[in-house]
Structure 1
Amino acid sequence: MSAEPAASGAMGPPQARRAEGKHGKAEERPCELDRLPISAQTRTELVRLCQWYQSSIDWDDPPAPSPWPQGEWQLFRRQADTAFAALCQELGDGWQVEMTHTVWTG
């Protein structure tokens, strides 16, 4: 997920883009949630989802299939989509927010 101020360069779990780097190009780097103008409730939910996601990985064998059953993936996706919508709404039109997940298995 990435969020960026639309007018001033770029701001993402979540990746963020910041204004221009050394060569005049936007750079992507992690964003501290405390720096985003969002409610404590949304911030707490994003942290909870990030922590929950960590349990989807078999840390003894990370390339192995996820230990989560399909139902847990479905629940996680629904809650992640809800949090994403809240983030977009709270940041408003002055921000460009992208969901860039690549691993939604189950």
Structure 2
Amino acid sequence: MEGSIVSQCRVIFPGSLNSHETLFGGIAMQWMDEVAFITASRYARKKVVTTKVDHVKFYAPIKEGTIVELIGKVTKTSGVRIEVSVEMISEEILSGQKEKAIEAIFVLSPVNHLNKPIRI
């Protein structure tokens, strides 16, 4: 599927941390939604909106100074739905060790100028 994979990297800075000094889950979800949006937009070449987030799994905390890579992939389409799997992979800068930290499934829908769902 052309345009169906998007990758984005970020560094975890202090402003993104929670009270446990790890990446705040709400910020992680925002970044993942952005990657899902870009992935679905490139795939459909239409205006899209997020309609559902499903199967969110947090596997490991992400500490300050870590690099994260967000990878979005279109996994399924039907009617007015584009399903995008998004993974956040953490990478320890000094060792290069990587692990899956978070994953979720986002469902987005193409919409018309009235923000009504349209077929892909």
TM more than 0.5: no
The structure richer in strand per residue is 2
User: Normalised by the size of structure 1, how large is the TM-score?
Assistant: 0.30
